[in-house]
Amino acid sequence: MSTNRENFQEFFSSTSGKLGSILLVIFILISVFVVFTYPLNFGNTIWSNPSYWSDYPKSAPPTWVSIFGTENVEHQIIDFTSPVDVIPISNQEQRLYSYTLNYDSNISPTFLSLSMYDVVYHDRPPTISVSILRPDNEEILIYRDVISSPRQGEEGPYVRYSDSPFRINLSGDKSVSSNLIEFVQDKSNSQISVNDIVGSNEKYIFSSFSSTNPQEVLHGEYQILIKFVVNNENDSISKIRFVLGGSSYGLLGTDSLGRNLSVGLLFGFPIALLIGLTTSTITTMIGTSMGIISGYTGGRTDTIIQRFADTLSNIPLLPILLFLIFIFGPQLWLVMTILVLFGWPGLTIIIRSMVLQINSSQSIEAAKSLGASKWRIMYRHIFPQLAPFIFAQLVFFTPAAILAEASLSFLGLGDPSIPTWGQILENGFRTGGVYIGYWWWILPPGLLIVITAMIFVFIALALEPVVNPKLKKM
Amino acid sequence: MSLLQTLIVRGLSLIVVLITVLFLSVIVLGATGYSDRLLTATVSEELRGLRQSLSQNIRDPTELEQVIEDRREQLIEFYGLDRPWYYRLPDMVFRILTLDLGEARTLRSFTGSNRVSDIVLERLPNTVLLITSATIITSIIGLYVGVKIATQVGSRLERSVSYFSAISYALPAWWLGIIFIILFAFQLRILPSSGMYSVPPPTEPFALFLDKLVHAILPVFTLVIVSVGSWSYAVRTMVLNISQEDFVNVARAKGLPENLVMRRHIIRVAAPPIVTSLILGLTGSLGGAILTETVFGWPGMGRLYYEAILAADESVIVALTFMFTLLYVIARFILEILYVVLDPRVRYK
């Protein structure tokens, strides 16, 4: 019998043991980070909530693709919370917000949008106007609006846009085009109409109007000026957001709903570990106790458990899993329960055959003749001999559970309230990401699933010589 | 006689599996109210047909309604919809067994039929074709590689096969399929990305066959890659265990040539446990086939599963669950026969 320390040395001396443990520690650290920083109902309130992602670019590749020479526009979200200047005009008050940005990309933003959050007013509704001061000193008014007036019978103070913000897509708005048209006609010296520019307003706002290349962007300092005019000094707005849509986003890009993939993928870490470890722990516990009871007790108990295990372990898992989840609805705990239900019999059959060998050993006979109870023998004398093997089985079963959940999600039966890697991949596959070439949507989730499964396979490999000394190098 | 007995016992235990799955699905369907919905849909479908044919002959609307109402009551009693679901258990089991599950909601067969049995049976050969060809290729490569590396333990080849086997355990078939599509169909453009035939399919029979073959390469290749590693490794371990036995040493000591020792004394003895590991891998390859078909748009039962889930077509899903279990039981039984043939101890007990 080797000591624990020798076992540890044996385990860590192998490359796969070292690699597996290091990766596992990294994965656990990421999971801990996610558990402490993400809200518990992340799936419902953030991930599956399209309005949360409306300010992000859709299907944008990661930012770092620009290394390979693709022309890029940075995605910019500009939040205005406090005015730079307050100017009293007769009995009104004009609050001025401004932001200066240096635009040097060769392509115009992919879209422009404006959002208003939490407007409160007391007398007459405030007005908002947005204009842009271009590097050539042309100031264009692009948007102007009055906050909706009080409804009949409504008492002040009047609250607007508190539940969900007011959002307008400036690129596709016809009123913006009407505001722009005179400026565009003037600059380009043509009789272009409003209908021609609606949908691509942003291109004209940032255009240099060069006669040789109509797509050319005017580089330099742009100033975004927002005027919020109120009639009562107590009126307020909590936030104004101005977005210049980019052609790429973040570390891992976005999906077709504009969701930041790196945020979703991070959430997958604790979920994958939870699915794998919980399922395999419970499965091993049930499988082991059933196996020991069956092998040691013998008789009718043995027959019943073995017949039961034999039938269950013979049922093809994926079809029955699909059927049950389809009927009962996609819930994560249900998936895990079914995996346990059909997972324990295999282990029980192996454990039983091992117990039958141990039964005839002298140590068990000695314990029996000393009058040890049935449960004591099973717990104190049989279980410890099997413990290393059982632990290896636990590790080995973990990737199976992770892969089973991923497969199920991939077939469209993932729990919608808990986003997993499998579901993100399925979304990408169903959107046709493989054919369109959204590689940043398809490759990372799959790679993460493979790496996670690999961690446990590596650890199991390194455990093998510890558990089964016969396999030590010959 | 003893051989027949063994096979009967094995066959019976597999039938128990089939019946368990059947009852499990029927109980789940009944207790969740799905069975009521399925039967009600069948009844209204029959009544709709009846109304169409009768409206030619019966002009009086009240009389027509009366006839249809009578027929509805008859049908409800016939299907047992007037009683709780558990009275209908045997009937439901029989309906699933005969794939008499009425009409699919939105899915259609290639010929346009909406009967569940038509849709499912049409796809069955495609799935069988995919699974059998992948299994045969995997077995041949696995046997060859496994035996080869068992004779050179510690070599570079042996180590890389061991690592490959570990990696393939962690490799989902569907993700590998996607990678292959991106690589072979879109980057290299040498193989079709999905489907079973080109659009439009060639008319000449031999060209049609070739077309099918080309479309089958990627799905079969995917299935082989995910299972061949662990299979070679299993063969290697089995061969290695037996080659350490005394009788192998005796054979070598007698001066028998190495390939004869390998063929007669090692592989012959290792064959039954190798078949056992093939049996154990069967549920895995079935699941792999469902996912691979989905990725490659291969028009088999696995792809149909995906389509049925997206269309929420419950009767098709019930039929598919049963068909996959049946397929498993049949394949399993064939392997059991092979096992009995290979292992004389089972025959002459």
B58 versus B272: the higher-pLDDT residue is B272
Percent of chain B with pLDDT over 90: 9
Residue B88: per-residue pLDDT: 77
- Rounded to an integer, what distance in angstroms lies between the CA atom of residue A336 and that of residue A402? 10
B286 versus A70: the higher-pLDDT residue is B286
Would strands A112-121 and A92-103 be described as parallel, antiparallel, or unpaired? unpaired
Q: How would you list the strands of the sheet with A85-89, edge to edge?
A: A85-89, A92-103, A220-230, A127-133, A139-146
pLDDT tens-digit profile of B306-332? 888 888 887 888 888 888 888 888 888
**Is residue B348 very low, low, confident or very high in pLDDT (cuts 50, 70, 90)?**
low
Judge whether B19 lies within some domain. Answer: no
Judge whether B274 lies within some domain. Answer: yes
Pair of tokens at residue B229: 């590693």
Would strands A158-160 and A236-244 be described as parallel, antiparallel, or unpaired? unpaired
* Record: contact B29-A403, CB cut-off 8 A: no
**Is residue B260 very low, low, confident or very high in pLDDT (cuts 50, 70, 90)?**
confident
Final residue of a structural domain among B40, B64, B88: B88
Q: How far is CA B210 from CA B164, B167, B207, B295, in A?
A: 31, 33, 5, 21
Judge whether B207 lies within some domain. Answer: yes
Residues B84 and B147 both lie in one domain: no
HSE of A471 in the Cβ direction (CA atoms, 13 Å)?
Answer: 11
Final residue of a structural domain among B88, B111, B134: B88
Judge whether B96 lies within some domain. Answer: no
Q: Domain of B197?
A: 122-347
Judge whether B149 lies within some domain. Answer: yes
* Record: contact B317-A449, CB cut-off 8 A: no
| Closest by Cβ to A326, choosing from B169, B282, B309 | B309
Q: Which chain A residue lies closest to B175 (C-alpha atoms)?
A: A446
Q: Where are the alpha helices (DSSP H) in chain B?
A: 2-31, 34-57, 61-79, 89-97, 116-150, 156-169, 173-180, 205-243, 246-253, 258-260, 268-280, 282-296, 301-311, 314-342, 344-347
Residue B36: per-residue pLDDT: 81
* Record: contact B324-A453, CB cut-off 8 A: no
B176 has pLDDT over 60:
yes
| Closest by Cβ to A320, choosing from B21, B305, B314 | B21
pLDDT tens-digit profile of A201-227? 888 888 888 777 767 888 888 999 999
The pLDDT of B8-13, averaged and rounded, is: 84
Shortest Cα distance, chain A CAs vs residue B259, angstroms = 23
Residues B146 and B260 both lie in one domain: yes
- Rounded to an integer, what distance in angstroms lies between the CA atom of residue B215 and that of residue B224? 15
Pair of tokens at residue B327: 């397929």
Residue A473: per-residue pLDDT: 43
Helix H or strand E encompassing A159: strand A158-160
- Would you give the DSSP letter of residue B19? H
Judge whether B14 lies within some domain. Answer: no
For chain B, give the mean pLDDT: 85
- Chain B residue numbers with beta carbons less than 8 Å from the beta carbon of A443 are 179
* Record: contact B172-A311, CB cut-off 8 A: no
Q: Which of A304, A410, A424, A435 to mutate to test the interface with B (most CBs of B within 10 A)?
A: A410
* Beta strands per DSSP E along A198-355: 220-230, 236-244
Nearest Cα to Cα of residue A286 among A361, A337, A211, A355: A337
Contact status of A432 with chain B (Cβ, < 8 Å): no
Pair of tokens at residue A318: 């994926």
Residues B60 and B143 both lie in one domain: no
Residues B204 and B331 both lie in one domain: yes
Pair of tokens at residue A196: 């021609």
Shortest Cα distance, chain B CAs vs residue A437, angstroms = 8
Q: Where are the alpha helices (DSSP H) in A138-260?
A: 174-188, 194-197, 201-205
Residues B53 and B162 both lie in one domain: no
Pair of tokens at residue A268: 């997958």
Residues B185 and B316 both lie in one domain: yes
- Rounded to an integer, what distance in angstroms lies between the CA atom of residue A270 and that of residue B243? 45
**Is residue B349 very low, low, confident or very high in pLDDT (cuts 50, 70, 90)?**
low
Contacts 24+ apart (CB under 8 A), A167-170: A167/A51, A167/A54, A167/A55, A167/A113, A167/A114, A167/A115, A168/A113, A168/A114, A168/A115, A168/A143, A169/A111, A169/A112, A169/A113, A170/A111, A170/A112, A170/A113, A170/A114, A170/A130, A170/A142, A170/A143, A170/A201, A170/A202
Look at the alpha carbons of B312, B313, B317, B320 in this order and tell me if their dihedral is positive or negative.
negative
Whether residue A322 contacts residue B321, with contact meaning beta carbons closer than 8 Å, is answered with: yes
Interface A:B, Cβ pairs < 8 A: 125
The vertex-A401 CA angle with A397 and A405, nearest 5°, equals 170
**Is residue B238 very low, low, confident or very high in pLDDT (cuts 50, 70, 90)?**
confident
| Closest by Cβ to B309, choosing from A16, A318, A411 | A411
Residue B1: per-residue pLDDT: 52
* Beta strands per DSSP E along A58-133: 76-80, 85-89, 92-103, 112-121, 127-133
**Amino acid at residue number A432:** G
Q: What is the CATH classification number for the domain harbouring B327?
A: 1.10.3720.10
Percent of chain A with pLDDT over 90: 27
Residue A470: per-residue pLDDT: 53
The CA-based dihedral angle spanning residues A153, A158, A161, A162, taken in that order and rounded to the nearest 10 degrees: -110
What distance lies between CA B33 and its chain's CA centroid?
28
| Closest by Cβ to A453, choosing from B170, B309, B318 | B170
Number of domains in chain B: 2
Nearest Cα to Cα of residue A283 among A210, A338, A218: A338
- Rounded to an integer, what distance in angstroms lies between the CA atom of residue B140 and that of residue B127? 20
Q: How far is CA A301 from CA A286, A306, A372, in A?
A: 15, 8, 21
Residues B44 and B182 both lie in one domain: no
Nearest Cα to Cα of residue A96 among A224, A222, A228: A228
Whether residue A225 contacts residue A98, with contact meaning beta carbons closer than 8 Å, is answered with: yes
Contact status of A322 with chain B (Cβ, < 8 Å): yes
Contacts of A381 (CB under 8 A, 6+ apart): A363, A364, A367, A372
Nearest Cα to Cα of residue B276 among B336, B233, B220, B331: B336
Contacts of A224 (CB under 8 A, 6+ apart): A78, A98, A99, A100, A101, A130, A132, A242
Final residue of a structural domain among B41, B63, B88: B88
Whether residue A292 contacts residue A382, with contact meaning beta carbons closer than 8 Å, is answered with: yes
Residue A169: per-residue pLDDT: 87
Residues B74 and B161 both lie in one domain: no
Nearest Cα to Cα of residue A131 among A179, A181, A182, A165: A179
Judge whether B103 lies within some domain. Answer: no
Residues B82 and B132 both lie in one domain: no
Q: How far is CA A261 from CA A56, A444, A445, A449, B307, in A?
A: 11, 9, 9, 15, 26
What distance lies between CA A471 and its chain's CA centroid?
41
Judge whether B262 lies within some domain. Answer: yes
B38 has pLDDT over 80:
no
- Ranges of residues in chain A with a pLDDT under 70 are 1-3, 214, 468-474
pLDDT tens-digit profile of A131-174? 999 888 888 888 988 888 888 888 878 888 888 888 888 888 88
Residues B81 and B127 both lie in one domain: no
* Record: contact B283-A318, CB cut-off 8 A: yes
The CA-based dihedral angle spanning residues A136, A142, A144, A145, taken in that order and rounded to the nearest 10 degrees: -150
**Is residue B341 very low, low, confident or very high in pLDDT (cuts 50, 70, 90)?**
confident
Residues B173 and B265 both lie in one domain: yes
Residues B195 and B332 both lie in one domain: yes
Q: How far is CA A369 from CA A213, A361, A373, A377, B262, in A?
A: 98, 13, 10, 11, 48
- Rounded to an integer, what distance in angstroms lies between the CA atom of residue B291 and that of residue A449? 16
The CA-based dihedral angle spanning residues A41, A43, A45, A46, taken in that order and rounded to the nearest 10 degrees: 120
- Rounded to an integer, what distance in angstroms lies between the CA atom of residue A389 and that of residue B90? 44
Residue B43: per-residue pLDDT: 83
